[in-house]
Structure 1
């Protein structure tokens, strides 16, 4: 569940507390060009107000009509859209997309408050809903847990699945951290240099003051973690790379020019890294978007991270010039 869905869930709690009837609508299956993935959430109020989304808007319109006409019941139910050509046209899915959504009445918000509290502590939570009786239970979710629905039980995930470790706490790192947070990454920054700590002002990101290799080991880099070495201090950047390139981290990149990248790879080759491990390094870091400011470079870095995460083909990397710190 991303931050927009969490915001909708928080609003559902407020509406319920104000005395409104509230339903949660969750995408449980999506095929073709359906715009929202499984797990996406919409909150529907008894007077037709909505928060969040499950499609581009037309499915939402149909759901609003249902609630205004009294079509929503007091038990969870599954609705299908786009199954027939008539439904596809009516629901705005004529381009071929299909989706099923689960509509459940919100009966109690105790679990919502617990989810919000645990996610604020960077925990990942699994919510299990039984369609038979509408009961909800919560448990700690692992990073390998995924959303699932088998027709009788919904297992939805709340909280960040993806992590980013940034080495360096300078202006560029702050821009990258801010952008990563907006993309629903759990963000950790590491910089042992005291002179950079006072200017760190990124709410929601954790700043570590230890050495980068120690921080990387403590975090336990896994297949849902990206690492960006941005300190512009080769000693610090090399330390995290020595650990990250041996880990399952899905993305490992480092700031610098092509010349610096070649020198870095030569240095790394003097340690206990194989040629295949060194080849995992993405450098110069980021896609070549032509930008020079910290915010533009941060965009190029996070664009590459997201592309790698989704397995999308990458554009040309940054040019020969040194990236501006």
Structure 2
């Protein structure tokens, strides 16, 4: 499953290969409330087909209508704004006073979309610089944590997985988690040294590494944009990964299991010369409570908790939300 950004780029490549004109629309600035974040993209084909999103739909409707009436005539990029006045805010579905600024970029061979896709296929994080004055494009390796920037006529957008997720175990739940996380801009790696999981891994774009989990954690040099989820139910594998992961700056470290099993796991981890503060970072039972039963539902609950932490949602709000959804509150997966 591709991320939205990757889906937009692949669709642009397909349209260009078919000889169709198309344009890439990017959110470059917002004021007040905005339906989509800075960096969100939309591609429009000359026949009115679209992929991606830059608003709740109203701005897309206006952009599509313009293309259908006028075609894609522009040769150079253009910056447009929506929602400057209260009337426009109402018309385009923006909250009163909200404004969104978009870059409209007509695409062609000079846009280097195929080269960008090749570099993304190699799991490279790429900075794409568009000169809004003449339409030229340059590509270079992006620095971790970089965000969209506009310096005069230069618009620099970031492409590729912004976050890393290491999953321990290659079972059914791991497959569900890997698929959804990939669509959320995570570069996912699955680790499982067990022989029975060497064959049949169904996700060609997600590497399955047959290594000892603790060795891989050390090799990956996890940082504050990394997460680790242990899903094997085997202490020999899960604990090995966790004891090294808890020493890193990874923003999220979680393990599947019941409250009782996780309490025992914490006791074991304290015997590996981890401090109480390090062990306290472990999330387990894993995930926000949403009444999940099936692997896809459990995967969603795990990613919901990861997303809340990544976005800085206070833990008390997470607990209150979970309590509102369930009575009595429980873990997303208690097995």
Question: When the two structures are superposed, what TM-score results if normalisation uses the length of structure 2?
Answer: 0.89
Instruction: Using the TM superposition, name which of 83-92 and 234-243 deviates more.
Output: 83-92
Q: CA deviation at 1:131?
A: 1.7
Contact (CA 8 Å) 1:128, 1:156: kept in 2 or not? yes
Q: SS state of the match for residue 170, structure 2?
A: coil
Q: CA deviation at 1:320?
A: 7.0
- Residue matched to 1:89: 90
Q: SS state of the match for residue 277, structure 1?
A: helix
- Residue matched to 1:167: 168
Instruction: Using the TM superposition, name which of 96-105 and 2-11 deviates more.
Output: 2-11
Q: SS state of the match for residue 273, structure 1?
A: coil
Cα shift readout 1:271-313 (whole Å, capped 9, x = no counterpart): 2322221111111111122223323222221211122111223
2:334 pairs with 1:323: yes
Structure 1 pair 93/254, CA: closer, same or farther in 2 (3 Å)?
same
- Residue matched to 2:24: 24
Q: CA deviation at 1:211?
A: 0.6
Question: When the two structures are superposed, what TM-score results if normalisation uses the length of structure 1?
Answer: 0.91
Structure 1 pair 286/148, CA: closer, same or farther in 2 (3 Å)?
same
Q: CA deviation at 1:216?
A: 0.8
Unaligned runs of 5+ in 1: none
Q: How does 1:38-77 map to 2 (within 5 A)?
A: 38-67=38-67, 68-69=69-70, 73-77=74-78
Unaligned runs of 5+ in 2: 324-328
Q: CA deviation at 1:19?
A: 3.3
Q: Which runs of 4+ in 1 moved over 4 A?
A: none
Determine the C-alpha separation between the residues in 2 that align with 1:8 and 1:310.
Answer: 24
Q: CA deviation at 1:109?
A: 5.5
Instruction: Using the TM superposition, name which of 197-206 and 216-225 deviates more.
Output: 197-206
Structure 1 pair 94/285, CA: closer, same or farther in 2 (3 Å)?
closer
- Residue matched to 1:314: 318
Q: CA deviation at 1:178?
A: 2.3
Q: CA deviation at 1:81?
A: 0.9
Determine the C-alpha separation between the residues in 1 that align with 2:89 and 2:331.
Answer: 49
Determine the C-alpha separation between the residues in 2 that align with 1:177 and 1:109.
Answer: 34
Determine the C-alpha separation between the residues in 2 that align with 1:109 and 1:133.
Answer: 11
> What is the count of residue pairs matched by the alignment?
323
Structure 1 pair 56/305, CA: closer, same or farther in 2 (3 Å)?
same
